[in-house]
Structure 1
Amino acid sequence: MSALTFVDVCSGAGGLALGLERAGFEPRLLLDDDADAVDTLRANRPRWNVLRTDLMDFDPAEHPVSHDVDLLAASPPRVKSSATVKRTDSGAEERLLEATVYLAHAIRPRAVLIENVPGLAHADEYQGFRDLARAELAHLGYEFSWFVVNAADFGVAQNRKQGVLVAIERRWATSFRPPAPTVSNPSTVGAVLGPSMASRGWRDAARWAAQADQPAPTLVGGSKNRGGADLGPTGAKRKWATMGVNAHTVGDRIPGPDFVWDPELGRDNMVKITIEQAALLQGFPGSWDISGRKTARYRQVGHATPPPVGEALGRAIAEALVAAPTIFEAGYTSAT
């Protein structure tokens, strides 16, 4: 049987695409409008067909390779919460979500996968998007599944919840089940980063790893228009501090032999997580090279879908698509 195929939009650093590749999917086309992200994708997978363009400007008629695919996947920038809707750049993320739905209408994949904030699956403030998706896709024969996954359930050392839409053509839809957790106990920051922290001879690496005995809070990539690289909002920074990590910045290198780790002395005596280590906490392989300057590199990592989550979602979709099609009465059932 030939490999299942997919188109990936808003590809970023390639976390979702990498996970889908591991699940047995073959990419036909990936696109992103960020030059650094495109460089990242091309550097790590030279054979992938990567297009630099804004999703809002993408015309599938000009790219017939995007037609007749099994899956349209998208991990657009996170939509704004109700607390930030008054910011001047508010609305761009919502338009990308809508553009993904319209693209599905145009290329008619057998399945659609969109991941974003947890509230996408159930919160009242995103009911408008769920209604739009239903209006555009239900009459084409797609069934809908809305659910939330936590990256920690799939071996990622991070509590990172994502709202997911999976829409599958009706004849395969009854075979789809959201992915079940693949681990019984979550990975911890110390377990994942301990070897890295010790790699330059830091004598306190093991002691630090023992204290960092829990998953990380959600990594946040931030906006192109605001801020530099740090590990998240105030609550996340406090959580990092309990692990002896200075989350107010991102480190340039891991500690050397003479670094004095003593959190009671303040931030200067806490460790800093590097971009490469942040990528490990997202579940990227150590060989995955992130292109660009420091803040742009961290933004790509923070925005990415953890590859193990992408793999779990991909396997669940693949199992449905290779199942024998089921014919049943028109209509669909879905949580709204």
Structure 2
Amino acid sequence: MLGTTTETLRRWDKSGKLTPVRHPINNYRVYTARDLAQFEKIGCLPKPAPEQASCAPLRQYNAIELFAGAGGLALGLEKAGLSNILLSEINKNACATLRQNRPHWHVIEGDVTAIDFTPYQGKADVLTGGFPCQAFSFAGKRLGFEDARGTLFFEFARAVKETQPLLCLAENVRGLLEHQSGETIAGMISVLDELGYDVVPPRLLKAIFYRVPQKRERVFIVGLKKGAGLKFTWPAENQEIFTIKDALKKGRLYPNDVPASAGQAYPKGKREIMELIPPGGYWRDLPLDLQKDYMKGSFHSSGGKTGMARRISWDEPCLTLTCAPAQKQTERCHPDETRPFTVREYARIQTFTDDWEFAGSLTSQYAQIGNAVPVNLAEAVGGAIVRTLNEFYSRHN
């Protein structure tokens, strides 16, 4: 939430700038009202969201999405007012999910390299995609469109070239910012520039500031068609933070408790370990002998490893969901019950609506949800896109 590192906090603790006390159960640092006032003063805490112009679309805005997955981004954009006219996805279960929930969406199942996007030239205002992050080979200082060939980003760029949208939006994991010491994202910006798009400085958006009860982060890259006079402003951060209680119980996010659904279970050995973990705690809350036995060689390695043997508490946002809720290092245990979150609980933590059903096996459903962009985060970004297009079309009517 603070956007700073634990090392910085510890340095401030030692210097006396902060005066935390220790939580009696999990030994976390607890900061006082005085400390929080200091955080706000130095700009670490979000300010109340400024007023933003209405984002109701002035006309129908069409969107194309590559690597659509189970539809988190597409659903969020739809909620913001965009119309999805084409979605490309290679995973059969994810395609089944999209078709089951939105029969009117045009879903193309299969390898994106086989799709000809030229029939859609001039028909889409927006093109989006969450492509896997792959390395490029740099022949020189500047990466060109042809140099990106062989990567899935090239397919995203090719779709941009063939459809010529007013705005393109790419999203990816936080690691893209540091991938190949920043050269990968610089290469992507270079390619989009060559294709005729001014790229807004990429932004890391934290889902917790966009009505998502989860500490998930995504990198977004926005390209604006050169010469169109487009202006894009990132969605304002929300000061209100939502928790697991908000996700699973009737309240601020949902009008009812989470529906019952299938879910994975822990094997006997892991269940016995997790029974010993308090809400908000993790492996360090175990007796020392069990810590060493459970962590094996990781016990002596550096890093907090706070996701291992982790039980989430009701009053905190969830850690980032993964594709497998019961594997080691990805434990996200229910606050009260000793089990992973169910499919519908997973979906709520990603802010899917309760009527959004997932196709395929239980394992596939978890993977689809874990890979998704949180719907409320996508809706916030979609609102920013709609405001950009409204401003453009209000000048060109």
Bin for the TM-score computed over the shorter chain = 0.7 to 0.9
1:103 aligned partner: 159
Residue 108 (structure 2) aligned to one of 26, 51, 58: 51
CA–CA separation in structure 1 for the residues paired with 2:103 and 2:341: 29
> 16-25 vs 50-59, which deviates more?
50-59
3-state SS, counterpart of residue 223 of structure 2: strand
List runs of 5+ in structure 1 lacking aligned partners.
81-93, 201-206, 222-228, 246-260, 262-269, 328-336
Structure-1-length-normalised TM-score = 0.72
Residue 42 (structure 1) aligned to one of 89, 94, 99: 99
CA–CA separation in structure 2 for the residues paired with 1:274 and 1:41: 20
3-state SS, counterpart of residue 167 of structure 1: strand
AA paired with 1:176? F
2:319 aligned partner: 217
CA–CA separation in structure 1 for the residues paired with 2:218 and 2:279: 29
Residue 244 of structure 2 contacts residue 313 of structure 2 at CA under 8 Å; is this kept in 1? no
CA positional deviation for 1:169: 1.3
2:180 aligned partner: 125
Residue 7 of structure 1 contacts residue 66 of structure 1 at CA under 8 Å; is this kept in 2? no
CA–CA separation in structure 1 for the residues paired with 2:356 and 2:198: 35
CA–CA separation in structure 1 for the residues paired with 2:154 and 2:205: 21
AA paired with 2:325? D
Cα RMSD (Å): 3.0
CA–CA separation in structure 2 for the residues paired with 1:96 and 1:153: 29
3-state SS, counterpart of residue 323 of structure 1: helix
CA–CA separation in structure 1 for the residues paired with 2:127 and 2:199: 14
Alignment of 1:1-336 (within 5 A): 1-61=58-118, 64-65=119-120, 67-77=122-132, 95-120=151-176, 122-123=177-178, 125=180, 127-145=182-200, 146-172=202-228, 175-181=231-237, 183-195=238-250, 196=257, 211-221=313-323, 229-230=324-325, 234=329, 237=331, 240=332, 244=335, 261=337, 270-324=338-392
AA paired with 1:187? F
CA–CA separation in structure 1 for the residues paired with 2:133 and 2:371: 8
CA–CA separation in structure 2 for the residues paired with 1:275 and 1:5: 31
> 313-322 vs 298-307, which deviates more?
313-322
Which structure has the bigger radius of gyration?
A: 2
CA positional deviation for 1:197: 6.4
List runs of 5+ in structure 2 lacking aligned partners.
1-57, 136-149, 251-256, 262-277, 281-311
CA–CA separation in structure 1 for the residues paired with 2:130 and 2:247: 25
Percent identity over paired residues: 27
AA paired with 1:194? K
Deviations 1:20-77 (A, max 9, x none): 111111111011011111110011011111110212222224xx24653111011234
